[in-house]
Amino acid sequence: MRKSDKTDLPARLSAILGPLGYLSAPDDCARYVRGARYGEGQTLAVLRPDSHEQLQQVVAWCAAHGQALVLQGANTGLVAASTPDASGRYLVLSLERLRRHIVVDPVNRSVEVDAGVTLQDLNAALEPHGLFFPIDLGANPSIGGMIAANTGGARLIKYGDVRQNLLGLRAVLMEPAGAVLDLMTALRKNNTGPDLKQILVGSSGAYGVITRAVLQVHCIPRQSATALVVPRDQAAVLQLLQVLERDCGEFLSAFEGISGAALQAVLQHIPAIANPFAAEGLPDYCVLLELDSSAARERSGLDLEQLLTRTLEDLFGEVIDNAVLGRGQDLWRIRHAISEALRHQGKLIAFDISMPRSALVEFRSEALTLMAARYPWLRVMDFGHWADGGCHFNLVWPHSAEPPYQAGLAEEIRTALYDLVVLRHRGSFSAEHGIGPYNLAYYQRYTAPSSRRLAGRLQNLLDPQRLLGLTWFGEA
């Protein structure tokens, strides 16, 4: 058969995958072509292998016949890289049925896991061993998708991102067609050449199909202490962070900035959440902070609530003005409700940026000034993982605003803010969510030509026909 001849594609692929593995009815395909928070594309079929052999055969067939694929895990990605575009050129290769294998090694504190296993299922399997995979976010992604997106999350400051917890992986390549790249080690130390698995981390499904991984896991915390703190002013946010890192060191597990506007949106739209600062009104800015430890209070003598209370007491009047302690779950509910609450306020222009922590205060002040001067109808409702330099400088364009929402103007605003982040503060326009169609133009704008050339050469080597994914890392 010639490369372009795909007339027997349905027959051949459904023969490999069986009726549950080959979906082509539009209703069956609908949820695979729609993004978590964006529009939808088209596909002829969704391929759902349930074994490594099936997956390898499918990839080999597609490579041999020039068939483009978009890889999909749990489809919670936010940059349009996990769903097909409108061209109908892509089949969706879903890893969701590749989820049988979860083998825990409690002594090595690691787990070997199929790429389609979800984070929740992984943590359920780890829990009886007193272990967990600590990447913490408001979605339930797959392990393969987390590696391809290098997921961060709210506790990155203590546990790192996926990259820092990845010990090994296995992938199936487009070139040679269907070949297995086996990098499945459970080693923490292994200096026997370049660390090739890292090429697949953050690759947005463009370099190969990750089928299995070995992850480092952690002991479940046996105690934690949480507080919502009001810093005196913006500079005090970073002072607070420094004091906590000095005095509470390795116990600091989260440090999340929340603007007063974001907090107000939560209280307005989620009636079940009460204002934690009821008596004092709403602060301009607050920080949700958390300490955690696997050392039990009774045995170790370590009492994190006491440690946090004492640390904050010393800061009253100078660094902080107010603090609500305890009630960890209630306080985290506020943080997790922000994204949803902002959507009720108008059209959201969301940002996922990062920069050196030392630049955050200056950036925020400059960004607020820029918005007020040039786009005064926008409402800034920012929040973010300040301890790792992350910031969701989210903007809401109210439905009643003048001018009404215009996509072109929104792009201008986005570029103005990214210029400030990347060109002035040497930050990143995509701190956590990766590169996909939504970010490709910015990738071309801000990534150095030498990096793009190398990334493109690598992609050509691994996928010379450019069949895998919607992200081209080379020069435009």
Ligand X SMILES: Cc1cc2nc3c(=O)[nH]c(=O)nc-3n(C[C@H](O)[C@H](O)[C@H](O)COP(=O)(O)OP(=O)(O)OC[C@H]3O[C@@H](n4cnc5c(N)ncnc54)[C@H](O)[C@@H]3O)c2cc1C
Residues that bind ligand X (CB under 6 A): 36, 70-78, 81-82, 95, 115, 137-139, 141-142, 144-146, 148-149, 151-153, 204-205, 209-210, 432-433, 436, 469
CB nearer to ligand X: pick between 37 and 426: 37
CB nearer to ligand X: pick between 122 and 312: 122
Burial label, 355 (beta-carbon count in 10 A; 0-12, 13-18, 19+): buried
CB nearer to ligand X: pick between 80 and 241: 80
CB nearer to ligand X: pick between 236 and 262: 262
- 107 CB-near residues (< 8 Å, 6+ apart): none
Measure Cα distances from 220 to 213, 292, 296 in Å. Answer: 21, 9, 11
Residues 372, 262: Cα–Cα separation, whole Å: 17
Q: The dihedral of CA 401, 406, 411, 415: what is its sign?
A: negative
CB nearer to ligand X: pick between 99 and 232: 99
Under the phi-then-psi rule, with left for phi > 0, alpha for psi from -120 to 50, and beta for the rest, what region is 98? beta
Residues 433, 443: Cα–Cα separation, whole Å: 13
Residues 83, 90: Cα–Cα separation, whole Å: 9
CB nearer to ligand X: pick between 315 and 470: 470
The least CB distance from residue 427 to ligand X, in Å, is 16
CB nearer to ligand X: pick between 151 and 345: 151
SS3 447: coil
Residues 322, 278: Cα–Cα separation, whole Å: 12
Residue environment code for 13-22, b if the CB has 16+ CB neighbours within 10 A, otherwise e: bbebbeeebb
The least CB distance from residue 115 to ligand X, in Å, is 4
SS3 463: coil
CB nearer to ligand X: pick between 201 and 315: 201
Q: DSSP H helical segments within 87-166, as ranges?
A: 119-126, 143-149, 156-159
Residues 77, 339: Cα–Cα separation, whole Å: 15
The least CB distance from residue 236 to ligand X, in Å, is 25
CB nearer to ligand X: pick between 168 and 436: 436
CB nearer to ligand X: pick between 77 and 231: 77
Q: Contact, 68 vs 191, CB < 8 A? A: no
The least CB distance from residue 33 to ligand X, in Å, is 12
SS3 170: strand
Residues 468, 449: Cα–Cα separation, whole Å: 22
Measure Cα distances from 267 to 127, 136, 275 in Å. Answer: 34, 23, 7
CB nearer to ligand X: pick between 46 and 315: 46
Q: Token digits for 409?
A: 């103007």
The least CB distance from residue 475 to ligand X, in Å, is 20
The least CB distance from residue 205 to ligand X, in Å, is 2
Q: Contact, 228 vs 276, CB < 8 A? A: yes
The least CB distance from residue 13 to ligand X, in Å, is 18
Q: Where are the beta strands (DSSP E) in 350-464?
A: 353-354, 379-380, 383-384, 390-391, 395-397
The least CB distance from residue 156 to ligand X, in Å, is 8
Q: Contact, 331 vs 288, CB < 8 A? A: yes
Q: Token digits for 405?
A: 């929402």
CB nearer to ligand X: pick between 57 and 142: 142
Residues 394, 467: Cα–Cα separation, whole Å: 34
The least CB distance from residue 409 to ligand X, in Å, is 26
CB nearer to ligand X: pick between 292 and 388: 388
The least CB distance from residue 94 to ligand X, in Å, is 8
The least CB distance from residue 200 to ligand X, in Å, is 7
Q: Contact, 155 vs 221, CB < 8 A? A: no
Cβ-closest position to ligand X: 145
The least CB distance from residue 452 to ligand X, in Å, is 18
275: nearest Cα among 209, 222, 322, 316:
322
